[in-house]
Structure 1
Amino acid sequence: MNLHKCAARMYPYANYECVTPIHRLVLFHTVFDDQLEYATEEEITKYAKRLEAIIRGDSLTPEDPGYFIQAAKIRDECRVFMPDEWMERLAQAFYTVTRYGAQEEATYKATQTVPSLALFKVLREYSIVIFPCFYMVEAEFCTFLTEEIERHPVIQRVRSLWSRIVAWQNDIQGLKKELSKDTEVMNIVIVLQRNYNLSLEDALTEAMKIHDADLAELVALQEDLPDFGKYQEDVKQLLLGWGSLIQGLNTFYLVDTNRYDPKCFAWPDRETEDTSL
């Protein structure tokens, strides 16, 4: 899947100290997200609580999935240069996207039904599981937002819009793969088709309109930021990093990977026919 190229494109400003945990997070995020696709609500609840606890400092146990070893390593590597308060935010981000994103989607996947477009937009913001990746931009620049700035409605809205835009990118780029599976329903194109009885072409057009509207709002907010005082330049730097993350991810989709080719995707529920792999 060339995920090393994904990390390099998403975090181009990372210094040497940050490179290893950033690459490790991109790899972990991808594997974890793929495994959640096939987990039950009960399993996802368990993963959400356990992953949050590990990021906060819990020791691994023999019952933990093997890939949680990487979560513990990300925690230990980031602790070297990021404060405890930031680690708490990263832990909460992992819990939030897993509990309120992946878990909420599981019912629809199990029943092969779709929510309304309004509800889907909210759920997809979290189920794309991208919030932890945005926090790694702060690690990339070794920047820590104060609690007051972190809670600012504009910062929260910007994070929300960035996450939604990544979700729409992912849904559109991965559509061919998901249509080949014929069991995926939580994709904006499929949700639009089913809710409004649209053709595939018309649903894609509407999906792009939603993407473009979110992008326009994001650009407008970035061009008229509140006054964050002495932290103004730090906020602008993070906005640059968040934008590079999204553009880098999109370039990865288009140039570097065959991840979304149905013939090449690493389906978690299938064994490869080539045992040498």
Structure 2
Amino acid sequence: MKPEDFNPQDYLPQGCYPWPDLINPNIAQMEIDMNNWIDHDYTYLSEKARRKYKKMGFHLCTARMIPKASYEQTIPCNRFVLNFVVMDDQMEFATIEEKKRDCDRAIEILNGSTPFPYENGIFQHLALIRDEYKSFMPSEWLERFIENLSRCYKYGVQEETPFKLAKRIPSLEYFLILREYSVNMYPYLYWADIEVNFVLPKYIEEHPVIQRLRALTSRIEAWQNDFYSLRKELGLDTELMNLILVLQKGQNISLEEAVTEAKHIHDQDVSEFVALHENLPDFGSYQQQVYDYVISLGSILQGLNTHYIKDTERYLAGGEGFAWPEINNDTKI
């Protein structure tokens, strides 16, 4: 298989999952909001970078992940997609120390700290995201959201850095754990609570089956991302943290063989998710709510897959659609 012959839709076509494929009806206003934030609050980025972010269609990503949310509920979610992606992109080549500094500051703000006037739009928006979520979600939910974001920063963003900077791949066994966190999916999974208007009680939240379903959701999204981003990453020696490339290089196999094995890993995770959903433990009076909650996790995966196919220029071949960090930018993240 030649790189130019690879089409992720041959493996993950639209509708390939058994969950609803919906979109929020407020997409027009969500796009207006997103473009206004990019133009007015992310001005530390170059005009070229801001144009690219507009073409990534993040408002559509949000709309597909939370199709049943009210417009007011979409606002902090829409902000968060832009915020988290820009922060992650612009830290692409940063050191562990730099990433830890900025990630720790982000968590401080979400936990109540006030951004300094000199801090850029990423940090200013984190305070808005925090306050907007607090207006309609309980404090327990926000604590869970922040804790899972912190885990992604610590066990994903920071732990993958030595491999990125050294341009080397980890072992497959370690990568399968690392990628679950470095895809930065865990905080998004708490949007399922918003969708079903139900915050899981603590004993259900901590149940191993629910924890496993969240892990599988994060893993499946990681494999989706690796399929759709492969064309961007092929030929770039800085882009190796991709399941397909880890398989290819780590096992010294062809690209075609690596794609086949990656699809097998993806399919196994989907099968386990579906089996667990259909065989949930007894949660008593909450049984239907938990069942619907898991459907919302699945809808997030379905929506993300459709977003990759229909909405975004982020993963064009060779990284042409990606907003790479701007070396001459003198404003810290």
TM-score range (shorter-chain normalised) is over 0.9
Contact 1:40/1:106 (<8 A) preserved: yes
AA matched with 2:321: C
Q: Which residue of 1 aligns with 2:209?
A: 154
| d(CA) in 2 for partners of 1:198, 1:62 | 52
Choose which of 139, 143, 162 in structure 2 pairs with 1:107: 162
| CA deviations over 1:29-66 (Å, ceiling 9, x no partner) | 22122123222111122223222221111111246443
Residue 4 (structure 1) shift: 1.2
Q: Which residue of 1 aligns with 2:6?
A: none
Choose which of 298, 301, 305 in structure 2 pairs with 1:246: 301
Q: Which has the higher contact order (CA 8 A, sep 6+)?
A: 2
| d(CA) in 1 for partners of 2:160, 2:120 | 21
Q: Which residue of 2 aligns with 1:58?
A: 113
1:3 paired to 2:64: no
1:231 paired to 2:258: no
Contact 1:51/1:95 (<8 A) preserved: no
| d(CA) in 2 for partners of 1:6, 1:13 | 13
AA matched with 2:103: A
Q: Any residues of structure 2 matched to 1:184-263 within 5 Å, and which?
A: 184-261=239-316, 262-263=319-320
Matched residue SS, 1:181: coil
AA matched with 2:91: L
Choose which of 67, 88, 93 in structure 2 pairs with 1:33: 88
Q: Which residue of 1 aligns with 2:78?
A: 23
Matched residue SS, 2:68: coil
Q: Percent identity?
A: 48
Residue 142 (structure 1) shift: 2.7
The normalised TM-score by structure 1 is: 0.93
Aligned residues: 271
Contact 1:192/1:198 (<8 A) preserved: yes
AA matched with 1:267: W
Q: Which deviates further from its counterpart, 15-24 or 92-101?
A: 15-24
| CA deviations over 1:147-199 (Å, ceiling 9, x no partner) | 11111000000000000000000011001101143311111111111110011
Q: Which residue of 2 aligns with 1:144?
A: 199
Contact 2:167/2:237 (<8 A) preserved: no
Q: Which deviates further from its counterpart, 136-145 or 109-118?
A: 136-145
Q: Which residue of 1 aligns with 2:322?
A: 265
1:124 paired to 2:124: no
Ranges in structure 1 where 5+ consecutive residues have no aligned partner: 272-277
Contact 2:106/2:126 (<8 A) preserved: yes
AA matched with 2:255: L
Residue 69 (structure 1) shift: 1.4
AA matched with 1:51: A
Q: Which deviates further from its counterpart, 27-36 or 149-158?
A: 27-36
How well do the aligned residues superpose, as a CA RMSD in angstroms?
Answer: 1.5
Ranges in structure 2 where 5+ consecutive residues have no aligned partner: 1-55, 329-333
Contact 1:168/1:188 (<8 A) preserved: yes
Q: Which residue of 1 aligns with 2:22?
A: none
| d(CA) in 1 for partners of 2:199, 2:244 | 37
Contact 1:51/1:91 (<8 A) preserved: no
AA matched with 1:27: L
AA matched with 1:84: S
Contact 2:172/2:247 (<8 A) preserved: yes
| CA deviations over 1:234-260 (Å, ceiling 9, x no partner) | 212211111111111110101111110
Matched residue SS, 2:159: helix
Over 3 Å counting, the alpha-carbon distance change for 1:47 and 1:142 in structure 2 is farther
